[in-house]
Chains A and B, each alone.
Chain A
Amino acid sequence: MALPWYDIAGAWLAIFLTMCIFSFLYGDNPAYKFAEHLFVGVSIGIVVSEQWFGMLRPNLIDKLLEPSGPRAWLYVIPLVLVLFLFTKLTRKHSYLARIPIALMVSAFAAVKMTGEANGNLMVQVADSMPDLAAVYRTTYPHWIWNWDMDGAGVLSSLLVIIGLICCLVYFYFSVPHTGPLRYASRFGIWVLMVSFGASFGYTVMGRISLAYGRVLTLVGMDRTPDEAAQIHAPAASLISTVIIIVIIAAWRMRAPPEATVIDDG
């Protein structure tokens, strides 16, 4: 099926803007700045339109303009609270904005507190003390360390308990970390470092995945073969690269030397 011209133009624009952003790896330049500013503007535009069509209009404006039921007048209250928020723009009446802000903070704090206590604290504390007898039964005969079950076993369960206690000791500042506490808190740091290392490894993986997504767009492999044949993504990437090189070259020739300093190291 033939793609409409605007789909092809959109794909070419996406490739050009991707190359503009990648040009920052060479150094700050006008092509990058253009893409960066466009990104910020479009992002804000999307958020504003989604907020209007998804939230404000159906939940407030429509209900005020087409009231249904005897309690429809109650929607005036959130409208007034919204208007109060805008009083922050004035010095004389800015105190009014405290009312909706106080409501939002209190509601959010209440929701957070109950949720965290219920879902994060209670369940996790209960689970941090594993039933070693049950672990032994489920992992037998490799009950010490079972490779087939992601390292599950009595050893890893004990490591969880010891690691948790040592991490808590590290953050316990009411007594000096001397004697046995010193060793426990030192082990707690090691456990924390291992967890930071795991998080960093996952972060690297995430960043490579993002780069992979962009590369797929640049070579046209994020589309069906039929669409890719119409878009000619590799050609668009090549042309975009040439355009950006010309832009950077022209900028370096025209701008005064201090404005074109590019970090070479």
Chain B
Amino acid sequence: MNWLARLQHLDRRIIFLLMGLSILIPVLFPLPMSFEVDERVQNLYQAVERVPPGSRVLISADFDPSSRPELEPFFRANLDHLFRRNVKVVVVSLVPYAPGLVSPLLRVYGERYHKQEGVDWVYLGFKEGKELIIKAMGANMRQTFPTSYAGVSIDQLPIMNGIKQLKDFPLIVMVSSGSPGTKEWVVQVQAQYALNMVSSCTAVQTPDYIPYYKAGQLLGLAGGMPGAAQYEKLVGVPTADAMATRGVNVLNLGHAFIILAILVGNISYFASKRREP
């Protein structure tokens, strides 16, 4: 059995091991690597920059543990960006696993920037109903979320004064991993209320959402971990906190390994076919 045939019967666990190493090594020994910021992320950043200090931005934080590594870095950087500019933040979630991740982060960033809950930020929590909830928020935000996640009536929250429906927010940021997510927001309310929207989504969803960006339905789009890393770069997140920027090394080596595995697998397959009698 020649070496090409042996490659065809390689134990798949060796591939898993090498893949694991290609992720672990750049985590332990990061290489200095630069990357460019693409137009979509640049426009997302500019859309946030255009929000006047003191106004309120709605974030739909719809990520769960399975999409956390891709979306949490963006969410953190976005909170950094908004709080630094003294923009108030109203957060909602449309997926049931989000509150456990979103609520502690808001508290940490609120304390870091000395922001008061209910005045500078509020988490309205999770609401079941998927697209119907988005539609309902477009018509009447106060009826859809009568209380905050902490159980405080929306009428007693200074940050919600004057907010009746979605069009009262100058910008809506979607941090979404699935359905309901960016697509549902765009389809249900963007055109109807002419809302300014930007999105951070998982890498898998990015090709589906690029047409929304091209058509102007999204003002900016950060796709997956590279998008989050580019946003971290623009916001100037400190290296210690920049989880996505550190992950770019991992993506580079991981992708290089997968490309190599595909090439070697195909070459060995065709070579072993040619040697067959």
Chain A residues within CB distance 8 Å of chain B: 25-26, 43, 46-47, 50-51, 54-55, 58, 107-108, 111-112, 115-116, 118-120, 122-124, 126-127, 149-150, 195, 198-199, 202-206, 208-216, 219, 221-222, 224-225, 264-265
Contacts and interface: CB of A to CB of B under 8 A. Distances in A.
A216 B243 CA distance: 9
Contacts of B207: 195, 198-199, 202
B275 interface: no
B149 to A, nearest CB: 8
B27 A219 contact: yes
A206 B247 CA distance: 12
A210 B66 contact: yes
Contacts of A208: 23, 250-251, 254-255, 258
Given A127-B211, A195-B207, A205-B203, A215 B190 contact: no
A150 B43 CA distance: 13
A111 B243 contact: no
Contacts of B246: 221
Most buried by B among A43, A119, A127: A119
Given A150-B39, A219-B28, 19 more contacts: A54-B125, A54-B128, A115-B135, A115-B187, A116-B187, A119-B191, A122-B191, A127-B216, A199-B204, A202-B223, A203-B203, A206-B224, A208-B251, A208-B258, A211-B19, A212-B23, A212-B250, A213-B69, A265-B11
B23 A124 contact: no
Interface bracket on B: 35 or more
B156 to A, nearest CB: 15
A50 B64 CA distance: 13
B24 A46 contact: no
Interface in B193-227: 202-204, 206-207, 211, 214-217, 223-226
B69 A210 contact: yes
Contacts of B127: 54-55
B50 interface: no
B126 A50 contact: yes
Q: Give chain B's interface secondary structure class.
A: helix
A91 B98 CA distance: 38
B123 to A, nearest CB: 12
B211 A124 contact: yes
Q: Which of A126, A211, A222 has the most CB of B within 10 A?
A: A211
A265 B99 contact: no
Given A118-B192, A119-B186, A212 B225 contact: yes
Contacts of A118: 187, 191-192
A210 B192 contact: no
A25 B16 contact: yes
Given A46-B97, A46-B100, A123 B217 contact: yes
Contacts of B55: none
B69 A212 contact: yes
A158 to B, nearest CB: 15
Per CB-CB distance, the 8 closest pairs between chain A and chain B, nearest first, are: A213-B69, A119-B187, A206-B203, A127-B215, A50-B96, A208-B254, A115-B187, A205-B203
